[in-house]
Chains A and B, each alone.
Chain A
């Protein structure tokens, strides 16, 4: 059982600053174990200097995100591929 208190759902607000689409329904292919998961189901660690989203299968880091007052940094190297969902608007 994962120890992550949260899942990707709670990161939706922060991810909206990075992606131009609804990220929580996007599906990642893990660069480490190749399993696919909607971002909403990734294990989210927020009580950290930055936000970390880990694979729901193997716990490898998929997304790291740090925000300073002036800038933000994102590392997506833990994702081999991202499947972007169709827009729900219009």
Chain B
């Protein structure tokens, strides 16, 4: 049991809404990264959906992606390192829109991003208004350090699943633990059940 340091509170604010167990509201928007900020010029950027047979089921260039119908979700986000931000405003394309017209029996998705980052989710958790690929934050273009030009947004799970610099989704019959899921982080990651690590 660590000794308590008198008068220490850290940067936290009192919670202004309902936040998951073990979380704290913070000012600002912490930047967490496992590597250098990748840079892909927009002329070279694309977003691909690969189906469970390995075939490219859909592909958009940046210009094509920006022409897709967009939404402006306002959501609460929760990082496994314990900070939460309420009411964050984003702009982007619903994953339902991206999957529209794609025939698949896959149960799992592996989101892949620049910088060799991957994260895995059940396909059911990406449908029905639960996930977006976003390119705007707080009314501005998404900054590179926060995942721009585009990142995944899956607010009902811990935020490491909202892969920054996302470049596509690979549909799979088998679950494949991603970068953090293969090293101790919980495979599903529900913040309301505090599923941070394996065995939680």
Residue positions of A touching B, CB distance < 8 A: 2-4, 43, 45, 47-50, 52, 54, 59, 61, 64, 66, 68, 70-73, 75
Contact A59 B35 (CB under 8 A): yes
**Cross-interface CB contact of A52 among B30, B31, B35, B199, cutoff 8 Å:** B35
Interface of chain B: mostly helix, strand, loop or mixed? loop
Shortest distance between the CB of A55 and any CB in chain B (Å): 11
Shortest distance between the CB of B36 and any CB in chain A (Å): 4
Q: With an 8 A cutoff between CB atoms, is B34 at the interface?
A: yes
Contacts known (A47-B30, A50-B180); A70 close to B199, Cβ less than 8 A: yes
A10-B78 Cα distance, complex, nearest whole Å: 27
Q: With an 8 A cutoff between CB atoms, is B135 at the interface?
A: no
Contact A47 B183 (CB under 8 A): no
Contact A73 B184 (CB under 8 A): yes
Q: With an 8 A cutoff between CB atoms, is B3 at the interface?
A: no
A86-B65 Cα distance, complex, nearest whole Å: 56
Contacts of B185 in A (CB 8 A): 49-50, 66
The contact string, 1 if C-beta is below 8 Å from chain A, for chain B 177-191, is 000101111000000
Contacts of A49 in B (CB 8 A): 32, 34, 80-81, 160, 180, 185
A61-B117 Cα distance, complex, nearest whole Å: 11
Q: With an 8 A cutoff between CB atoms, is B196 at the interface?
A: yes
Q: With an 8 A cutoff between CB atoms, is B105 at the interface?
A: no
Q: With an 8 A cutoff between CB atoms, is B33 at the interface?
A: yes
Q: With an 8 A cutoff between CB atoms, is B130 at the interface?
A: no
Contacts of A61 in B (CB 8 A): 34-35, 116
A52-B180 Cα distance, complex, nearest whole Å: 11
Shortest distance between the CB of A18 and any CB in chain B (Å): 13
Contacts known (A68-B196, A68-B197, A71-B197); A50 close to B36, Cβ less than 8 A: no
Name B19-44 residues within 8 Å CB distance of A.
30-37
Contact B37 A3 (CB under 8 A): yes
**Cross-interface CB contact of B183 among A2, A4, A50, A70, cutoff 8 Å:** A50
A49-B32, A54-B35, A64-B34 are known; give 10 further A-B pairs, CB within 8 A.
A3-B37, A47-B30, A47-B32, A47-B33, A48-B33, A49-B34, A50-B34, A50-B180, A61-B34, A68-B198
